[in-house]
RNA sequence: GCGCCUGUAGCUCAGCUGGAUAGAGCGCCGGACUUCGAAUCCGUAGGUCGCAGGUUCGAAUCCUGCCAGGCGCGCCA
C-alpha cells in the first residue's frame, strides 16, 4: 500500500505529463500547507509551469484538476484550486489511517528505505589529532557524522565510518617532546618549556605515569630515544582515551586509518608519481607543486618541500586516493569549518586522480562557541585551557549533548552554554521528546493492567480515529519516511529533530485533550493502535540520532 | 586585500531550495492536575527577515553592492 503522499505525487506526475507532452523537466512538489483550510496536501506546480507554458496559472491548475477528477482516486475527498493557482488536496480520513498497519507491521524498519540502492558511502569524521583529549568541537563533528551514517544506513546505503589518525609529523614530535620535558621536571630538572608545546595537565599526568613505570631510566637514554618513547606512550594513551570518549558518546568507527601507514607503504610517493605522470606536478624553487589551479583552486600547492619532506596535503591526497581505490561511490569528509580553505584543493586533487569532484562531499561543521553563564570559555589545546568532551558529557549527558548538536544546521555557528544546558535541563528539547516516549510506555502499562493488551496481528476499527488531532498525527507519521529520505539526500541530520518536535508537540496536545484509555473498548483499541505507531516512530527517529528512548524518566 | 560561513521575535534557532497570513523553543504575562505521567497542555504579547537596489505574477529564499560578526588565506599540521 503506497502512502498517500506517494500517490498524490504520482498522480501529479501523470497529470503534468498529460497536459503537456513537451518534455517538461518539472517534478511537482507536494507539501503540507501551514493552515488546514488549504487541505492536507498542496502543490504549487501550476505556478511553476506558467513560464514554460505561457498560460495563466489558474488555467493550468484547472486542467490538472480536470485530469485528477477524471481519475477520481478513492482516497480523495475533494481537490480545489485556491489563490493564484495552488491545488489543494483534501483526503478522506479513513484513507490516512492505512499508514498505521504499515507502521505496526514494519516496526523498527518503518522509516527505512532502499533509495541508497546499496551504494557504498564512506563517512570520515572526527579525525582529531591524538595530541590531547577531544573537546566540544570534536563532539559536534562526532554527533553529526554518526547521525549521518545512521540516516544513510537507514536509506539503504552501505556505510563505513572512518577516523583518520594523524600519527606522524611535527605535532607528534612536539607531543613526545612535551611529555619528555615534563618527565624531566618530575626528575627535578629545570627545563624551559617552549611556546609551541602542549601545556595541558594531561601531559603532566602522562609524564607521571611514565615516571611511575620507569623511574629515572629515561633520563639516562639519549634524548631522541627518550622522546620517541614518550611519544609512543603518550600517543597510545591519548588515542585510547579518544576511543573511550567516543564510545561513551555512542560513536563507533569501522576503521581507524593511520597516516603513518601511508608513508610506510610508499603510497604518498606513488600518488605523487601518478600525478606527475599525468602532468599535474612541476618543480619550482626546489619544491614540487601540485597544479591544483587546473581544477579551480586559487593557487598551486606544494606537495614536496625543498628539504625533501612531503607536506600534510600530500598525505591527504594519498589518503583520498586510497579511499577512491577502495571503491566508495561517495566519500563524505566532515571537517571543522576552520579547514574550509582546503575544500577547493581537495576536490582538485580528487579530480586530478581521475575521479569526479562530485564524489567528494565536504561537510563543514562550524566550531562550537562554548560558554559558561554567558561568558566564553577559553579553548586552546596548546595552552591546555579547554573543556573536554568528556566533561561536557558528564555535565549535561550524552542524550542532551547529541540532541543540541543535531538540532542545528552544521554550518551554523553554535553557542553552547554549559550553565543553560544544565540549569534548564528539564526544558531541554530532548526531554520533551523523550517524555512523550516515556508517557506512551506508561499508558501501555496502565492498559495492560486493565487487561487491554495490544494485539499486533489484529487491526482495530481505525475509522473511529476521526479527531482532527488524530488525523494530523497520522499524517505526520506518514511523513516520517520522507523526512529520513530528505535528511539523507541533503546530508542534513537536523531535519530529524525538527520533525520529532512537530510530531511530539502534536501528540502531547492530543494527549491533553483526549483520553486514550476509556470505557469505549473499540475506541480504546484504535487509539492504542495509534499510540503504538507513535511510539515506534519516536524510537526509530531517536535511534537515527543516537539518542535513547527511555521507558521511564 | 582576497575567499568561505553566518545575519530571521529580547535570547537560541527552523523555514522543505521561488509560493498562501514568516514559524518553534527559551524567557515574560495569564490560565488547566480527585481522571492514562503537569518534564505536559491552553492562551496573550513580541518581526522594516542586517541595509539598499535588481530579477517576476510572487523574494527570508536567486543576482549585485554595501554593513556587521566568525573563520581561513605558509615549502605548518
Confidence of residue A2 (pLDDT cuts 50, 70, 90): low
Which pLDDT value is given to residue A196? 86
Q: Domain end: A222, A248, A274, which one?
A: A248
Which of A17-21, A80-84, A546-550 has the lowest average pLDDT?
A: A17-21
Residues 327-356 of A with CB under 7 A from strand B: 337-342
Which of A244-248, A264-268, A427-431, A525-529 has the lowest average pLDDT?
A: A427-431
Q: Are residues A334 and A265 in the same domain?
A: yes
Q: What is the spatial distance between Cα A416 and Cα A372, in angstroms, rounded to a whole number?
A: 8
* Strand B within 7 A of A41 CB: no
Q: Are residues A154 and A25 in the same domain?
A: no
Q: Are residues A221 and A292 in the same domain?
A: no
Q: Are residues A135 and A261 in the same domain?
A: yes
Mean pLDDT of the region A455-468:
88
Which pLDDT value is given to residue A25? 64
Q: Are residues A344 and A242 in the same domain?
A: no
Q: Are residues A56 and A14 in the same domain?
A: yes
Q: What's the distance, Cα to Cα, between the start and end of chain A in Å?
A: 37
Q: Is A33 among the domain residues?
A: yes
Q: Are residues A451 and A361 in the same domain?
A: no
Q: How far is the CA of A373 from the C1' of B37 (A)?
A: 32
- By the 10 Å C-beta count (0-12 exposed, 13-18 middle, 19+ buried), A218 is classed as buried
Q: Which nucleotide is nearest to A497 (CA to C1')?
A: B14
Q: What is the pLDDT of residues A398-414, one digit of tens each?
A: 999 999 999 999 988 88
Mean pLDDT of the region A299-304:
95
CA distances from A244 to A248, A284, A453, A510, A526 (A): 6, 45, 42, 42, 45
Mean pLDDT of the region A344-362:
94
Radius of gyration, alpha carbons of chain A: 29
Whether the per-residue pLDDT at A441 is higher than 90: the answer is yes
Q: Is A98 among the domain residues?
A: no
Q: Which nucleotide is nearest to A407 (CA to C1')?
A: B13
Q: Which residues pair with A162 in a beta bridge?
A: A124, A255
Q: Are residues A461 and A339 in the same domain?
A: no
Q: Domain end: A197, A214, A248, which one?
A: A248
Whether the per-residue pLDDT at A319 is higher than 90: the answer is yes
Q: Which nucleotide is nearest to A510 (CA to C1')?
A: B41
Q: Are residues A81 and A228 in the same domain?
A: no
Q: What is the pLDDT of residues A145-188, one digit of tens each?
A: 999 999 999 999 999 999 999 999 888 999 999 999 999 999 99
Which of A277-291, A415-429, A439-453 has the lowest average pLDDT?
A: A415-429
Q: How far is the CA of A432 from the C1' of B44 (A)?
A: 23
Q: Domain end: A214, A248, A282, which one?
A: A248
Whether the per-residue pLDDT at A23 is higher than 60: the answer is no
Q: Is A215 among the domain residues?
A: yes
Which pLDDT value is given to residue A426? 65
Q: Across all residues in chain A, what is the average pLDDT?
A: 91
Q: What is the spatial distance between Cα A150 and Cα A499, in angstroms, rounded to a whole number?
A: 16
Q: Which residue has the cell 520533551?
A: A432
* Strand B within 7 A of A72 CB: no
Q: Are residues A139 and A285 in the same domain?
A: yes
Q: Is A419 among the domain residues?
A: no
Number of folded domains that form chain A: 4
Whether the per-residue pLDDT at A452 is higher than 80: the answer is yes
**Helix orientation angle between A389-396 and A223-248, rounded to the nearest 10 degrees:** 30
Q: Is A448 among the domain residues?
A: yes
Q: How far is the CA of A155 from the C1' of B56 (A)?
A: 38
Owning domain of residue A513: 426-544
Q: Which residue has the cell 510506555?
A: A441
Confidence of residue A291 (pLDDT cuts 50, 70, 90): very high
Q: Is A31 among the domain residues?
A: yes
Q: Is A338 helix (H, G, I), strand (E, B) or coil?
A: helix
Confidence of residue A30 (pLDDT cuts 50, 70, 90): confident
Whether the per-residue pLDDT at A31 is higher than 90: the answer is no
CATH number of the domain residue A14 falls in? 3.30.1360.70
Q: Are residues A349 and A140 in contact, defined by beta-carbon separation less than 8 angstroms?
A: no
φ, ψ of residue A159 to 5 degrees: the values are: -125, 135
CATH number of the domain residue A454 falls in? 1.10.730.10
Q: Which residue is nearest to nucleotide B14 (CA to C1')?
A: A498
Q: Is A374 among the domain residues?
A: no
Q: Are residues A401 and A147 in contact, defined by beta-carbon separation less than 8 angstroms?
A: no
β strands within A230-338, DSSP E: 255-258, 281-284, 287-290, 301-304, 330-336
Q: Are residues A470 and A492 in the same domain?
A: yes
> Which bases of chain B are under 7 A from a protein CB atom?
2-7, 12-27, 32, 35-42, 57-58, 69-77
CATH number of the domain residue A276 falls in? 3.40.50.620
Which pLDDT value is given to residue A453? 72
Angle at A523 between CA A519 and CA A525, to 5 degrees: 95
Which pLDDT value is given to residue A1? 46
Which of A46-55, A302-311, A325-334 has the lowest average pLDDT?
A: A46-55
Cell of A155: 536509506
Entry pTM: 0.94
Which pLDDT value is given to residue A475? 92
Q: What is the pLDDT of residues A215-232, one digit of tens each?
A: 999 999 999 999 999 999
DSSP-assigned letters across all residues of A429-487 = HHHHHHHHHHHHHHHHHHHHHTT----TT----GGG--SHHHHHHHHHHHHHHHHHHHH
Whether the per-residue pLDDT at A447 is higher than 90: the answer is yes
Q: What is the ipTM of this complex?
A: 0.94
Q: How far is the CA of A415 from the C1' of B49 (A)?
A: 21
Q: Is A397 among the domain residues?
A: no
CB count within 10 Å of CB A2 equals 11
Q: Are residues A231 and A281 in the same domain?
A: no
Q: Which nucleotide is nearest to A285 (CA to C1')?
A: B75
Amino acid at each position: 500500500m503506497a502512502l498517500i503522499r506517494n500517490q498524490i505525487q504520482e498522480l501529479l506526475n501523470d497529470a503534468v505529463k498529460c497536459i503537456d507532452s513537451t518534455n517538461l523537466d518539472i517534478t511537482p512538489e507536494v507539501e503540507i500547507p501551514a493552515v488546514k483550510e488549504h487541505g492536507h496536501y498542496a502543490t504549487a506546480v501550476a505556478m511553476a509551469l506558467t513560464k514554460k507554458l505561457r498560460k495563466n496559472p489558474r488555467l493550468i491548475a484547472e486542467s490538472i484538476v480536470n485530469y485528477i477528477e477524471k481519475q477520481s482516486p478513492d482516497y480523495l475527498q475533494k481537490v480545489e484550486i485556491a489563490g493564484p493557482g495552488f491545488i489543494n488536496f483534501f483526503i478522506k480520513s479513513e484513507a490516512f489511517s492505512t499508514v498505521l498497519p504499515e507502521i505496526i507491521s514494519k516496526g523498527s524498519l518503518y522509516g527505512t528505505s532502499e533509495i541508497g540502492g546499496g551504494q557504498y558511502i564512506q563517512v570520515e569524521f572526527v579525525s582529531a589529532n591524538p595530541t590531547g583529549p577531544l573537546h566540544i568541537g570534536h563532539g559536534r563533528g562526532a554527533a553529526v557524522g554518526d547521525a549521518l551514517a545512521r540516516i544513510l544506513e537507514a536509506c539503504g546505503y552501505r556505510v563505513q565510518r572512518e577516523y583518520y589518525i594523524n600519527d606522524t609529523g611535527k605535532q607528534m614530535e612536539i607531543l613526545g617532546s612535551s611529555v619528555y620535558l615534563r618527565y624531566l621536571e618530575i626528575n627535578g630538572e629545570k627545563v624551559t618549556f617552549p611556546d609551541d608545546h602542549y601545556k595541558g595537565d594531561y601531559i603532566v599526568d602522562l609524564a607521571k605515569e611514565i615516571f611511575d613505570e620507569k623511574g629515572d631510566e629515561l633520563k639516562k637514554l639519549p634524548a631522541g630515544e627518550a622522546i620517541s618513547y614518550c611519544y609512543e606512550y603518550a600517543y597510545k594513551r591519548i588515542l585510547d582515551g579518544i576511543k573511550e570518549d567516543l564510545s561513551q558518546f555512542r560513536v563507533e568507527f569501522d576503521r581507524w586509518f593511520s597516516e603513518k601507514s601511508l608513508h610506510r607503504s610508499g603510497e604518498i610517493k606513488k600518488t605523487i608519481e601518478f600525478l606527475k605522470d599525468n602532468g599535474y606536478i612541476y618543480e619550482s624553487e626546489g619544491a614540487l607543486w601540485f597544479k591544483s589551479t587546473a581544477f579551480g583552486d586559487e593557487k598551486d600547492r606544494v606537495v614536496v618541500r625543498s628539504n625533501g619532506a612531503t607536506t600534510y596535503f600530500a598525505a591527504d591526497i594519498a589518503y583520498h586516493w586510497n579511499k577512491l581505490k577502495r571503491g566508495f561511490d561517495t566519500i563524505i569528509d566532515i571537517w571543522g569549518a576552520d579547514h574550509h580553505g582546503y575544500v577547493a584543493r581537495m576536490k582538485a586533487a580528487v579530480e586530478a586522480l581521475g575521479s569526479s569532484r562530485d564524489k567528494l562531499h565536504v561537510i563543514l561543521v562550524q566550531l562550537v562557541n562554548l560558554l559558561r553563564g554567558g561568558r566564553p570559555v577559553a579553548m586552546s589545546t596548546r595552552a591546555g585551557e579547554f573543556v573536554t568532551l568528556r566533561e561536557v558529557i558528564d555535565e549535561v549527558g550524552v542524550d542532551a549533548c547529541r540532541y543540541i548538536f543535531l538540532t542545528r544546521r552544521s554550518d551554523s555557528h553554535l553557542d553552547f552554554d554549559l550553565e543553560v544546558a544544565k540549569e534548564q535541563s528539564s526544558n531541554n528539547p530532548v526531554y520533551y521528546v523523550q517524555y512523550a516516549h516515556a508517557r506512551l510506555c506508561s499508558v501501555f502499562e496502565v492498559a495492560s493492567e486493565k487487561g487491554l493488551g495490544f494485539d499486533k496481528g489484529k487491526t482495530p476499527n481505525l475509522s473511529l480515529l476521526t479527531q482532527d488531532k488524530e488525523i494530523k498525527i497520522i499524517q505526520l507519521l506518514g511523513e516520517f519516511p520522507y523526512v529520513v529520505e530528505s535528511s539523507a539526500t541533503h546530508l542534513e541530520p537536523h531535519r530529524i529533530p525538527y520533525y520529532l518536535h512537530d510530531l511530539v508537540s502534536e501528540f502531547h496536545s492530543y494527549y491533553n485533550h483526549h483520553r486514550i484509555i476509556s470505557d469505549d473498548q473499540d475506541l480504546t483499541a484504535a487509539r492504542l493502535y495509534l499510540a503504538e505507531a507513535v511510539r515506534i516512530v519516536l524510537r526509530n527517529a531517536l535511534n537515527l540520532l543516537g539518542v535513547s528512548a527511555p521507558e521511564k524518566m
